[in-house]
Structure 1
Amino acid sequence: MPDQNNRNTIIFVVCAFLILMIYQFAVIEPANKKRAEAARQQAPAGATLAKPGAPLAAPVVTREAAVAAAPRVPIATPSVKGSLSLRGARIDDLFLTQYREKLDSPAPVELLRPEGTRYAQFTEIGWTGANVPGLPNANTVWTLASGSTLAPGQPVTLTYTNGQGLTFTRVISVDDKFMFTVTDTVANRGPVPITLAPYGSVQRQGVPATLGRNSVVHEGGIGWLKERRNLKYGKWQKDGSSPSYASTGGWIGMTDHYWLTAMIPAQNEQIEGQYRLTKVGSTNLLDANFIGQPRTIAPGTQVSATTRVFAGAKAAPVLESYQDKLGVAHLDEAIDWGMLWFLTRPIHTFLSFIHGHVGNMGVAILLLTVVVRLVFFPLANKQYESMTKMKKVQPAMEELRKKFKDDPQKQQQELLALYQREKVNPLAGCLPIFLQIPVFFALFKVLTVSLDMRHAPFIGYIRDLSAPDPTTVFNLFGLIPWDPGTMPMIGSLFAYGTPPGFLHIGALPILYGITTWLTTAMNPPAPDPIQQRIFQLMPLIFTFIMAQFAIGLLVYYTWSNILTALQQYVIMRRFKVDNPIDQLIGKITGKSKAVG
């Protein structure tokens, strides 16, 4: 029958989702924890030689020791601070001053760290050529020819002479955001021509276990080489080096959730880009690199190549400005807009517009939810009217099912006749649901990738909309100074007093569960007792599932549930159908509230 088919479809989708989530928590999460523990016990191996552009493994030293081991040029801009190493002429010491590493710490986000440290990440630019001796490499110490601090409007010039007829000059400048511009010049003072090609790479020596686990946002190799080229950290380390991608211009690099480090060649340069894996002992050395076209330098002449380095936050307006002003192809594709990009992009733009006017990301989410509900109001009205009519005729349907339980064909004929008399279409509620599903996923994506969510406060105890609800029911949301880890039997499940993800039920997840139950209770009951039990358990199950997501998502879904319940309530009152809100009011007041 139509109504049963509709419910069976919904049940199938819900069960499939639940199976995936159970697999995630029961299989994938334990495996990730084992890998994380193994990663913590690993240490990079000793040094090895590599071809130009490939990473070198080095002994593990402290960050301070690595920075002090080479002469440096300070970097100071309104957005970043750090230093440029004269050994290798690398950008390898960089902090993002406008973003904090942790909510309760003033320490800025660390983006790049020198080779030799644990999980080193840095950039390298240079020249490569076959049988050309004396090319500068990672150990070459450059001379600071001019400038003292790399800052906006204050470039620095580095020089190196290899003693074999080649002089290298490197001019590095930086803007007030996250873009470095490196112009390399090679002068041939020797007696024979040489052929060199420019290259650039972003290198990472070992990947922290916390990276690459996000199934919603891409983390790993990323670039635009004729098209978007992604390689997740996990797949990269498992499958090894990628093929080479030919492109004219474009860019290539590595990304985490909110941060990007990318090499940007001249946009008219013919390049070959690649994600490379080099294994040194138990350490995976990752390298996102490009090689440009060879240049033949005759004696007494020189050639130049300009490469830009983006090292900073994936703020959409900043990426779009570089894309427009510098002509960097598709740089805003560094943000993982997903398959529904045609929805996520405008929704993100509109959310940012609201945020810019109200100044509070939580309030912006509430207002965005209202706008989305208004857009879908006509469709939702038809959906809720259909469901309300179905609930109104439910008693009559149950009577027909009992009366003709031994004659399914007659039962279906009588039900169809009932639908016609009451002008009920059991399938009328399906189309609005299917039309809203893409927007549902697009909003989920937007609230996950948005940099504005990170460390964004809302009200009260909600200080970071990008993090899960910090409260927990096990200590009455912080009211009781008690360590849940001391609980008999299950105390061993807690680490440092914090319950594991599937038990971390805070205040907002509970409110989300209540509002989800309310909207579910307003729907017509399923004809089958097993189906009824599944729908009754869904709010509880989804409460545990959603509790682990960012609280900003819960703000959206809870507020959306409240608006949905209000819209359903008005319609049910109009059609004089009993509803859980009136029933609850009746129990509280001791009176039965009429629906007329």
Structure 2
Amino acid sequence: MTDNKNMFIAIGLSLAILIGWQYFFGIPQAEKQRQAAEQQRIVQQAEQAQQQAQQQAASTAPGAGGVAVPGSTAAQTTPRALTREQALAATPRVAIDTPRLKGSISLKGGRVDDLSLLDYHETVDPKSPNIVLLAPAGSPHPFYAEFGWTSAPGVNVKLPGADTVWTATASALTPNAPLVLTYDNGEGLLFKRTYTIDDHYMFAMKDEVENKGGAAVTLFPYALVSRHGMPQTQGYYILHEGLIGVLGDNGLQEVTYAKMDDAQPHLFKATGGWLGITDKYWAATVIPDQSVQVDARFSSNQVGGTRNFQADYLGAGKTIEPGATAASQGQLFAGAKEVAVVDGYQKTYSIDRFDLLIDWGWFYFITKPLFLVIDWIYRVVGNFGVAILIVTVLLKGIFFPLANKSYASMAKMKALQPEMVAIRERYKDDKVKAQQATMELYKKEKVNPIAGCLPILIQIPVFFALYKVLFVTIEMRHAPFFGWIHDLSAPDPTTIFNLFGLIPWDPSSVPVLGAYLMLGAWPLIMGVTMWVQMKLNPAPPDPTQQMIFNYMPIIFTFMLAHFAAGLVIYWAWNNTLSVLQQSVIMRRNGVKIELFDNIRSVFKKKAPAKS
């Protein structure tokens, strides 16, 4: 009866964990997918029906000396919603043509508002569409960068704005050919903007103003990144998506879309730094001259049913005397958050902590070095999955001395099992004395009963660091392993419930339980290796604990089925190495390895209890 009670308790705990996992992970993810599909359907209907566009209002807030930064304004005269292609065709443009980027700069407003990443696709299929990063105002998902000048309140100066049409000196911006835009306000000010671009994702911008008039003029340089509408996000706590920046002594600033408030913009004063808007793998950030103090801001406003987000900075005023010229310089990063590229920019341009554009998390001191080691090995072996396996072996080697002590303690514990059983039998009616006798035995034999937990505790930060590497680094995106694993950053796509694809049925379509039914081959391998590893260790004396430990591999198998395949492969490989390592240590300490006996005992029928 007691065994049955313990079994029901263990099953109940297991079901509670599984149901909790489904409630907090499975159902929210399914709901996000449903919302994304619904959102896409609405967008398509809007494009097909050419419905009335929602008017985008300006978003302004005071900067230095009360000067307002121009906001994100869409064309006020657009009579209907435009597709991306229609919005691009509505304004004159100069092409952006580099080995890694394709897009255009709008001559109306001088904005960088059209950018696609040639090296990245929406799916693992190389024929799928390229990732679109930036899009113009008037399109379904506007996202763009803008540089310019503004003036103090009440000063009547004709400045180039969102509706200004610039004159271009070239038909394309390439790494070998800069683009110069000019605009004469007809009132004595000649504006000149020079764009250059490198082979990756960095734009450099130089804004100049020549005063041909008879009076001095004071202007303030600014730059902004603006996004209209709430973008679709991953929705994970460990990943930041939204407004981001490193702003001098303020340090790293991360504000999610959900935490942006109309009335409470986030204001900062900083020298140098950078700020912008980031997605999981892509970002657009503006970077001021690192020696110049700026007023920086994260802001948001809602117009109609659309919420707009903006990250901008405002520089100090420049007084331009008659016959003189003033200049302002800045940079725009718009592209994929590749570690080598981002680190290279930080070093080349001395951009303050630009590497934090990649969300390395709290374990930065472990996560980034771990990635760098994996990446170096990948460049040798040509496969990130193999690199992860090799790194696991290296980690096992590094932690071997500590693991040796831990496993040696566990081996001694196993050797003491007969004496511990005898103590429990001797004091079966007095648990306090049984505990005291057990502790005296540990002290006499110099055994630490919790030493066996150390290898697991050590693995926890490494596990989370590897999880972070697989989850946030773009290098892992669409990185194949072998066989059916075409993306190490995505869950194993197979499932035992359709015989790994032999039956033409999608278990994930089952309401509520669909998440449980996606149980792939690698999670099963991981669960088996975890179970085998646990069978090497002494069984807990308490029957309930034994039952729980027996069910733990099953619970973890279902839980990790939703994790990145690379992480599951790492865990399975780590379990296998742990079994081998522990077996060697147990042999050295003269402890008999009873792995197969322990496994057989699980399936062996117990004799009926005597009445």
What TM-score does the superposition give when structure 2 sets the normalisation length? 0.86
1: CA distance between counterparts of 2:101 and 2:243? 23
Deviates more, 1:370-379 or 1:443-452: 443-452
Residue aligning to 1:47:
56
Over the aligned positions, Cα root-mean-square deviation in angstroms equals 2.8
2: CA distance between counterparts of 1:539 and 1:526? 16
Contact kept in structure 2, 1:121 and 1:204, CA below 8 Å: yes
Contact kept in structure 1, 2:58 and 2:70, CA below 8 Å: no
Contact kept in structure 2, 1:569 and 1:579, CA below 8 Å: no
Residue aligning to 1:225:
247
Deviates more, 1:51-60 or 1:320-329: 51-60
2: CA distance between counterparts of 1:558 and 1:515? 6
Letter in 2 for 1:178: Y
Structure 1 stretches lacking a partner, 5+ long = 1-13, 486-490, 589-596
Residue aligning to 1:139:
163
1: CA distance between counterparts of 2:262 and 2:575? 43
2:215 is the counterpart of 1:192: yes
TM-superposed deviation, 1:407:
2.4
Deviates more, 1:337-346 or 1:63-72: 337-346
2: CA distance between counterparts of 1:279 and 1:373? 53
Letter in 2 for 1:303: A
Residue aligning to 1:87:
108
Structure 2 stretches lacking a partner, 5+ long = 1-13, 47-52, 61-68, 604-611
Letter in 2 for 1:404: Y
Contact kept in structure 2, 1:57 and 1:280, CA below 8 Å: no
Q: Deviations along 1:292-321, whole A, 9 cap, x unmatched?
A: 111112222221101110111111111121
1: CA distance between counterparts of 2:564 and 2:261? 29
Residue aligning to 1:336:
359
**Quick one: structure 1 residues 78 and 34, their matched pair in 2 at CA, closer, same or farther if it must change by over 3 Å?**
closer
Residue aligning to 2:9:
none
2: CA distance between counterparts of 1:484 and 1:339? 36
Contact kept in structure 2, 1:90 and 1:125, CA below 8 Å: yes
TM-superposed deviation, 1:237:
4.1
2: CA distance between counterparts of 1:558 and 1:242? 47
2: CA distance between counterparts of 1:198 and 1:65? 31
1:265 to 283, 288, 300: 288
Letter in 1 for 2:592: V
Contact kept in structure 1, 2:59 and 2:300, CA below 8 Å: no
1:535 to 543, 549, 557: 549
1:207-356 aligned at under 5 Å gives the runs 207-209=230-232, 211-226=233-248, 227-237=250-260, 241-356=264-379
TM-superposed deviation, 1:150:
0.4
TM-superposed deviation, 1:569:
2.5
TM-superposed deviation, 1:563:
0.5
Residue aligning to 2:591:
576
1: CA distance between counterparts of 2:57 and 2:37? 26
1:561 to 575, 587, 594: 575
Letter in 2 for 1:341: Y
Residue aligning to 2:437:
414
- SS of corresponding position for 1:244: strand
Residue aligning to 1:68:
89
Residue aligning to 2:176:
153
1: CA distance between counterparts of 2:142 and 2:514? 30
Letter in 2 for 1:175: D
1:100 to 95, 114, 121: 121
Contact kept in structure 2, 1:471 and 1:505, CA below 8 Å: yes
Residue aligning to 2:528:
514
- SS of corresponding position for 1:409: helix
- SS of corresponding position for 1:56: coil
Residue aligning to 1:393:
416
- SS of corresponding position for 1:310: strand
**Quick one: structure 1 residues 15 and 475, their matched pair in 2 at CA, closer, same or farther if it must change by over 3 Å?**
closer
1: CA distance between counterparts of 2:586 and 2:298? 58
1: CA distance between counterparts of 2:505 and 2:559? 25
Letter in 2 for 1:549: F
TM-superposed deviation, 1:561:
1.0
TM-superposed deviation, 1:578:
4.5
TM-superposed deviation, 1:483:
4.4
Contact kept in structure 2, 1:221 and 1:253, CA below 8 Å: yes
- SS of corresponding position for 2:104: strand
**Quick one: structure 1 residues 523 and 92, their matched pair in 2 at CA, closer, same or farther if it must change by over 3 Å?**
same
What TM-score does the superposition give when structure 1 sets the normalisation length? 0.88
Residue aligning to 1:24:
24
Task: Give aligned pairs, total.
Answer: 564
TM-superposed deviation, 1:30:
6.6
2: CA distance between counterparts of 1:323 and 1:545? 38
2: CA distance between counterparts of 1:160 and 1:113? 24
2: CA distance between counterparts of 1:24 and 1:84? 43
